[in-house]
A and B are shown apart, each in its own frame.
Chain A
Amino acid sequence: MPELNTSSLPDLIFTVLFFFMMVTSMRDVEVKVQVKTPVGGSEIEKLERKSLVSHIYIGPPSKSYRATYGTAPQIQLNEYFAEPEAIREFVVAERESMSEKDKPFMKMSLKIDQGVQMGIVTDVKQELRKARALNIVYSATKENKD
């Protein structure tokens, strides 16, 4: 039986590699909180332009951070846990990093764990209003059926 010719195997894999480089984006931050977003149905929309979106994570710290931060829900901005008051600074920094014509379309994606209580969410929303970041998205997972 003749041996299988594997000389084109590298090319093949390179093609797959390039495909993945194109369709994916670098994971920007390590998420230190556990977030299981609520499940929604027909009303859930996809966010189209990733460059316009900044994320705010709210949820209980994940296992490795529990020893330091406890289990009460935390707000994560970039890499760090933060108080609601820090949001204004965060919004300003995010806005600065955008091009001038994109600034009005900035969206804040709120990735909030299902189990979180509204108090912390309300605080965040109030701070966002003060920072004039008014476009928000309640991040959710789309149910497949429906």
Chain B
Amino acid sequence: MGKGKRKVPGLNQSSTADISFILLIFFLVTTSMDTDSGLSRRLPEWDPDAVEQEMKIKERNVMTVQVNKNNEIFVKNGVINRVIDISELKDIAKEFIANPDDNINLPIHEEYDIKDYGVVVTTYKHVISLQTDRTTNYEIYFQVQHELSKAYTELRDAWAKKTFGKKFAECDEDQQAVVKGYYPNKISEAEPKQYGTAQ
């Protein structure tokens, strides 16, 4: 055997496709393509003394949004003090944050120096305090957060359009910082309070 040139038979490749199919299916099964998305928030620093500071905020600058265990949304600020429907929340929040008519029961307009931009008159002292009960449904809480976010986005869009001639999302980073300075996000993820359980 093994003398002279022998022709090597070609490797049968008909199964390569099947093998790679199996590999493909393996990857399809074990990997995930879902991109995560959601609502970004920043929690306040952990500080046991923080409760006292909250007391010092003037009443007109505070809007309290309470979601109780029956998932009813109760809003309290200088002009409103009642249970509302979620669809009303955005407009109430916008009215509160911007205080366009300079109502003395809504947040005070004060001069505020935005870095690299100049002094503006805004309601930067306002605070929206979001409170929930331990048995409040998470979905309602999320929708409330979402509506409040929307209120900020719409106000920012309006002001960005007036000042820079484009929407907030289309502004560059410096401009966005200015707009954020004018309408700072002041949703306070307050300390949990025991309503109805401790009393």
Co-assembled chains A and B:
yes
Report the bound CA distance from A50 to B42 in whole Å. 18
Q: Closest CB of chain B to A30's CB: distance in Å? A: 11
Are A117 and B138 in contact, CB atoms less than 8 angstroms apart? Answer: yes
Determine the chain A residues whose CB is within 8 A of the CB of B129 once the complex forms: none
B136 within 8 A of A: yes
Interface residues of A in 33-48 (CB under 8 A from B): 37-38, 40-47
B199 within 8 A of A: no
Report the bound CA distance from A13 to B40 in whole Å. 39
Tell which of A7, A37, A40, A121 has the most Cβ of chain B within 10 Å.
Answer: A40
Q: How many residues of A contact B (CB 8 A)?
A: 56
Known: A119-B135, A140-B142. A45 touches B32 (CB 8 A): no
B52 within 8 A of A: no
B43 within 8 A of A: yes
Are B40 and A137 in contact, CB atoms less than 8 angstroms apart? Answer: yes
Closest to B132 in A: A118
Are B141 and A130 in contact, CB atoms less than 8 angstroms apart? Answer: no
Closest to B190 in A: A122
Are B134 and A140 in contact, CB atoms less than 8 angstroms apart? Answer: no
Determine the chain B residues whose CB is within 8 A of the CB of A139 once the complex forms: 36-38
Determine the chain B residues whose CB is within 8 A of the CB of A25 once the complex forms: 31-32
B9 within 8 A of A: no
Given contacts A118-B133, A135-B42, 6 further A-B contacts (CB under 8 A): A38-B138, A43-B150, A47-B37, A118-B136, A121-B138, A138-B142
Q: Which 7 A-B pairs have the closest CB atoms?
A: A119-B134, A24-B31, A10-B16, A114-B139, A139-B38, A129-B46, A137-B38
Q: Mark B55-76, 1 if CB is under 8 A from A, else 0.
A: 0000000000001000000000
A17 is contacted by which of B23, B141, B146 (Cβ under 8 Å)?
B23
Closest to B143 in A: A38
Tell which of A42, A115, A118, A121 has the most Cβ of chain B within 10 Å.
Answer: A118
Are A142 and B138 in contact, CB atoms less than 8 angstroms apart? Answer: no
Are A43 and B36 in contact, CB atoms less than 8 angstroms apart? Answer: no
Closest to A136 in B: B41
B8 within 8 A of A: no
A16 within 8 A of B: yes
Q: Mark A109-145, 1 if CB is under 8 A from B, else 0.
A: 1101111111101100110111010111111111000
Closest to B42 in A: A134
